[in-house]
Amino acid sequence: MELYSPWILLLFLLLPLLAYLKRRRQTLAAVRFPSLKDIKQCPVSLRQRLRPLLNILRFICIAFLIVALARPRKGTVLSEISTEGVAIEVVADRSGSMQAEMDYFGQNLNRFDAVKKVFSDFITGNKKGLTGRSGDLIGLITFARFADTTCPLVLSHNVLLEFLKKTEIVRLRSEDGTAIGDAIALAAARLKKAEEELQQRRARLIKNSEQEIDKQEGSGFNIKSKVIILLTDGVNNAGQYDPIRAAELAKEWGIKIYSIGIGSAQAYTTIQTPLGAYKMPTGQNLDEGLLKAIAERTGGFYGRADDAETLVKIVEKINDLERTEVKSVQYAQYSERFGPWTLGALLMLALEILARCTIFRKIP
């Protein structure tokens, strides 16, 4: 709550002066009596004692009117964000091999959970080297034997984080596999249609909104570049598309691919048995040559992450290479709140007039 004209509150300084002038000019009704001796002995009635309330009501009425003249109002801050950002598709492997465990800053997590934590920090930011990607269009594609769009490209990252949190490693053997080519092809197709989807969303907003939307050049979201961040720990052994051909298609559409290979010769998986937990070593099955070729053909780079610390450094490097400049314009929408004060002033005035004409009526 704020006042549009707070200087009008200076009128409150005149209230003591008005009270003084009213008391000075007040004249009492007079009646001729031969002696006032008996009248002075008459007790003062309750109505006489309460009669000053009439003046109090009058001054409360004036005070409410002063506040109403100052125009109290409540503002709602609205933001219109105009960005030239990056459209990013995070393509994460969720095949059974991602069940292998790795150390995540003191926590024993499987590879997929570690990837989810790192990319959650990549999206929202952390206290270290990641600043967050609040101005970017980000989507999530996961793959095993089949590639799926887990979350479409969105600017509202809370939705994306919920999808990321609920995504799990495949459990059915029939769905296990590593379709790298299909995942790249799906992500590239999503990014290619990103501008078209943004235009369609904007058209729906214009159609459904009664307010005019600024159509000047520079308003809305503009895609500066398109990026795929590919994370996998295996070799391409499923799907219809060849990964190299999918990468060439992405290059034709102006899409850059950063590939991250997750693997370690000391990887293991914990298996629960009737005799207790048993750590079973898992062999390294990472096609680094393929991942390097995919990145190099599209202008990106390949990074090998043997542990969580290395994975974070690779993601920080990607974050530094793909910077986004966000321009935000804030404006406030106000609603007037002088009505209740005006109504209160009228109520006080009505009560005073009613009381003067009934309970506190005097003659003459």
- pLDDT score of 263: 75
Contacts of 230 (CB under 8 A, 6+ apart): 91, 180, 183, 184, 257, 258, 259, 260, 291, 294
In three-state form (DSSP H/G/I as H, E/B as E, the rest C), the secondary structure along 282-298 is CCCCCCHHHHHHHHHHH
CA atoms lying within 13 Å on the CB side of residue 200 = 5
Q: Give the DSSP H or E segment for 150.
A: strand 147-154
| pLDDT digit string (tens) for the chain, length 364 residues | 678 888 888 888 888 888 878 777 765 556 666 666 666 677 777 777 777 788 888 888 888 988 888 888 877 655 555 567 788 999 999 998 888 887 787 788 888 998 999 999 888 887 777 778 877 889 999 999 999 999 988 888 888 999 999 999 998 888 889 999 999 999 999 999 887 777 776 666 566 554 444 443 334 567 888 999 999 988 898 889 999 999 999 999 999 999 999 876 555 566 666 666 655 556 567 888 999 999 999 999 999 888 888 888 999 899 888 876 655 555 567 778 888 889 988 998 898 888 888 887 776 5
The full set of domain ranges for the chain reads 2-26+40-71+338-357, 82-208+219-327
Q: Which residue type is seen at 293?
A: A
Q: Which of 353, 357, 360 is nearest to 49 (CA)?
A: 360
Q: Which of 115, 181, 175 is nearest to 314 (CA)?
A: 115
Could you give phi then psi for residue 69, rounded to 5 degrees? Answer: -65, -30
- pLDDT score of 355: 84
- pLDDT score of 216: 38
Cα 199-247-170 angle, rounded to 5 deg? 85
Contact between 338 and 71 (Cβ < 8 Å)? yes
Q: Is the peptide bond before 364 cis (omega within 30 degrees of 0)?
A: yes
**Domain spanning 82-208+219-327: which superfamily?**
von Willebrand factor, type A domain (3.40.50.410)
Q: Which residue type is seen at 182?
A: D
| Sign of the alpha-carbon dihedral angle for 338, 339, 344, 345 | positive
Measured CA to CA, the distance from residue 251 to residue 257 in angstroms comes to 9
